[in-house]
Structure 1
């Protein structure tokens, strides 16, 4: 278990008290964990706790408007010229026909056809929004009446500020990690994403849950998780950080995924750290063959050509599906329930690893954190920063110095395993920037062996789907290199 005093001493400004009763208020309001912890940090009293739950509810209601009271905001913008600032997730796109930037706030039902970002505002805010096409931030709306050169009335964006209440110092984060054992650190990370370490039976369950975080921390990491219902897949990929995108059901088009043909509106892969396709069995593809081809091209190289435009992305692609416990058998075809798009071996081979959902217990009350823990918003920012190319090169160098494999090893297997190891190293051993700084047996236990297992499941599924091409081709032996003296 985590020593709370040591945790708070190591991260004095970035821990919060997570009370299940208070957390339930945010959950009832459908507020993501990263946003919740930002509010907790602002409203907690000197002991770190929220004592007035009713005052908290009132503040949430004021700072995060709901669709049913959006008419009040519209009237405020029209009557007073501007609204008070509030928290919202906005989406931004460029309209070629009108040569204008527009925005949408889907949670409030505000669409692009009734908004405008005037040029002087765009110049002021574009640094906060251009890379992500929007996101969560403090928003202020205005209103422009029709008349003169403005044929239509519309709501305008007066202010937008992407919030980040912390000074994110990776070196301080790494230095603080040195104070914990690996077992302690695993518990720290579980607390950061709202789980109670004491609720798990063993380290394997804990480790498998944390495997879900690998796409948060490593660019272009493609994973599959098939698991029974109720294990928290949607929660983690949809609520923990603000840099990913969870697609749940409905129809997914090529333009939405990769970008429109004129190149003005970037797709999900270009503006997110990962794109998780939840309940994959219920997602429809507008043109399945087009989506299949696009995924293969993008997942292979990180880029795709749409029309005359070359689109480069850093997002990993995650498939999330529910299957019965009785079908969680790696020796059988576990993909038979998935859309036909994913029944092609060439596409499946581009997924780096498989998360064993059977090792993750169904969510229960004893798995919810209750006490001091690392702030989710802060931790999600750390993971986002560790995706940077310079950081990735540091950890990949360590992995390549430590992992040995035969020259005949399959190239895709090798890239998958090295990439998974790099992600595990960033997550569990962020302080290790040189091979001699990590215990070799711990690296094997927590990084290399799980990476090989994750890729092996993909290989087994390839053998089931396409026995002529992949039958008898197993993952090579990936081992630790001899320690350098």
Structure 2
């Protein structure tokens, strides 16, 4: 076990489970994760290997004996008849039979209907009246000569939910963990290995949980297939309901006029719409209108009296095109059905989670560490819905007064949700708040910027906040930084206006106005110089911040124009030690070779620090770069820093430029190891970056 796993078991004994055990017990049982973890929590909530092994066998035995497979329904029915009573694990729903004035249950897998269930059980678990609930039930069989009486009777029924949650203890125990440890614990609770995710990637995963902790929160996530968009809503919590976006009706979602029964929004914390995207899909106009009213006012009406509810909405769907295509030709909502590609609907979304930043889920990304039993965490998140953390950021920062009330409310709700997840007991620093505030503002800005493209009546909004020192700190989206040549286009304009927009966007003012997403100081965004390689850039001094998790960055784009014409380049980076760091150095040299004229002679010298663990291997790899350069016109040399005190990370040329880097050449996230091929292994532009900054300084006449 890792140090974090030891700490988790020490402070949350009995409420955590080893996440890889779910696969070990699942077999061919088609049940949600929270059902399996409920059982594992009864028998395997420990770090004792012998107890875990015994518990796994117990859970497997329970599933083998009591989980009902559809193919074995007849056998289980026979068992109930012969024994008179038998315990089953199945999905159960209930309806009122108005002819007999009695409640009747349906067992989905067992295939039996009209099962008698008492009123007290239904009152205790009203969700049974809306949709299927996974339950453990004792079912009896008592034959009657009266054909009107069903022989099936429920003796006891218990929805699969954890019995007791001590919220105060949970909140106080949070203080035993650092912020990074707590985020990793939440990541492991979702089922992912946090070591394979960058900081921003982790926060995007946690953003998917905000609908569970915030009432009436509207989140949309559009992106490529296979990124796990719907997983958290179908597997993670018994308080969330995942439905097909194309199959929902007004009576099922809101209220049935024939009997006055409220729909899903009245019983579930989160209603998620799967496969929501699709230009060919159609939606009922009445449904769209009532959804818009509910998303804005928390109320809906189908008759005289308005009704209120607290369910949050999550919309997930696949995009048909990549981000630059959408920005150039349409907008980031282009995949939505026409009835939902509507400015009034889109404006009611509090956050747009960029699904294209989430990596495709692969087997090696899942954790074998410990995380909360998901049902336990689900109850905690449900309790947190009662609280409001939205104005905590006001202690440190002030959001621009130019931002509208609807935008401000969206930002505050996202902030509140993230703070509940990461800082349920308070204690966040100004730096913590700023990191989350930038993400919350970016998530709403993504919605608002696209609205300005879709509907010309929506003005462009300057998203910024003020620091405690009064400095203005602007917020940009990652795709705004990555594709500025497309981001500022207005697809609705005629060709002449479009051409003018493109021209102004390519200029230096657009680059400097882009802001620094991910920057604490609100400095200028990256230079536009490499957005179009056929335009020779004007080299300027400046400080540029690059946001974690974006792509499209390469050494050629960052350094190429500034090393052009140099005959001597000195790279100082004390941490060119491990294989991947030395590979970065080799790729820098390759970039120099590609850019130089055949007749030019250039020297590249590296100053670094020794790898105390394996300096012989380090020397061998660095010497291999020098050997590889023979005959290329580039002479590579290297040396260890003689003083042993160098911490600088910069690139200096004899043309008068100094490039300062906080991470040196180590700007790319480690790839997830797997067999086969990856564009990221071959092309730097297709790698995901870490967050970093670059400062260009004139270092002489040159």
TM-score band w.r.t. shorter chain: 0.7 to 0.9
- 1:268-417 alignment, distance < 5 Å: 268-281=264-277, 288-308=284-304, 310-324=306-320, 326-327=322-323, 331=327, 332-388=330-386, 392-393=387-388, 395-399=389-393, 401-417=395-411
Q: Deviations over 1:50-86 (max 9, x none)?
A: 368666544312232111122233334445543x222
Maintained 8 Å contact 2:403/2:461: no
Maintained 8 Å contact 2:402/2:461: no
- Name whichever of 338-347 and 367-376 sits farther off: 367-376
Q: Deviations over 1:93-117 (max 9, x none)?
A: 334455332333334444xxx3144
Residue of structure 2 in register with 1:242 after alignment = 238
Structure 1 residue 157 displacement after superposition: 2.9
Residue of structure 2 in register with 1:188 after alignment = 185
Q: In the aligned structure 2, how far is the partner of 1:98 from the partner of 1:400?
A: 58
Residue of structure 2 in register with 1:89 after alignment = 91
Maintained 8 Å contact 2:43/2:55: no
- Name whichever of 224-233 and 396-405 sits farther off: 396-405
Return the match for 1:423 from 413, 417, 421.
417
Q: In the aligned structure 2, how far is the partner of 1:349 from the partner of 1:152?
A: 53
Give the length in aligned residue pairs.
463
- 1:180-259 alignment, distance < 5 Å: 180-200=177-197, 202-248=198-244, 251-259=247-255
Q: What SS does structure 2 have at the residue aligned with 1:351? A: coil
TM-score, with normalisation over the residues of structure 1? 0.86
Structure 1 residue 177 displacement after superposition: 0.8
Q: What value does the CA root-mean-square deviation take over the aligned residues? A: 2.9
Of structures 1 and 2, the one with the larger relative CO (CA 8 A, separation 6+) is 1
Structure 1 residue 264 displacement after superposition: 4.5
Q: For the structure 1 residues 24 and 348, does the alpha-carbon distance in structure 2 shift closer, same or farther, using more than 3 Å as the test?
A: farther
Structure 1 residue 476 displacement after superposition: 4.0
Structure 2, unpaired ranges of 5+: 471-702
TM-score, with normalisation over the residues of structure 2? 0.61
Maintained 8 Å contact 1:303/1:310: yes
- Name whichever of 456-465 and 416-425 sits farther off: 456-465
Residue of structure 1 in register with 2:443 after alignment = 454
Residue of structure 2 in register with 1:443 after alignment = 433
The answer to whether the aligner puts 1:49 opposite 2:52 as a matched pair is yes
The answer to whether the aligner puts 1:473 opposite 2:473 as a matched pair is no
Q: In the aligned structure 1, how far is the partner of 2:249 from the partner of 2:265?
A: 12
Q: For the structure 1 residues 33 and 475, does the alpha-carbon distance in structure 2 shift closer, same or farther, using more than 3 Å as the test?
A: farther
The answer to whether the aligner puts 1:138 opposite 2:131 as a matched pair is no
Q: In the aligned structure 1, how far is the partner of 2:320 from the partner of 2:307?
A: 37
Return the match for 2:73 from 67, 70, 74.
70
Q: In the aligned structure 2, how far is the partner of 1:282 from the partner of 1:407?
A: 37
Structure 1 residue 282 displacement after superposition: 5.8
Residue of structure 1 in register with 2:651 after alignment = none
Q: In the aligned structure 1, how far is the partner of 2:155 from the partner of 2:263?
A: 25
Structure possessing the higher radius of gyration over alpha carbons: 2
Q: In the aligned structure 2, how far is the partner of 1:480 from the partner of 1:261?
A: 51
Structure 1 residue 135 displacement after superposition: 2.6
Maintained 8 Å contact 2:326/2:334: no
Q: In the aligned structure 2, how far is the partner of 1:480 from the partner of 1:330?
A: 34
Q: What SS does structure 1 have at the residue aligned with 2:322? A: helix
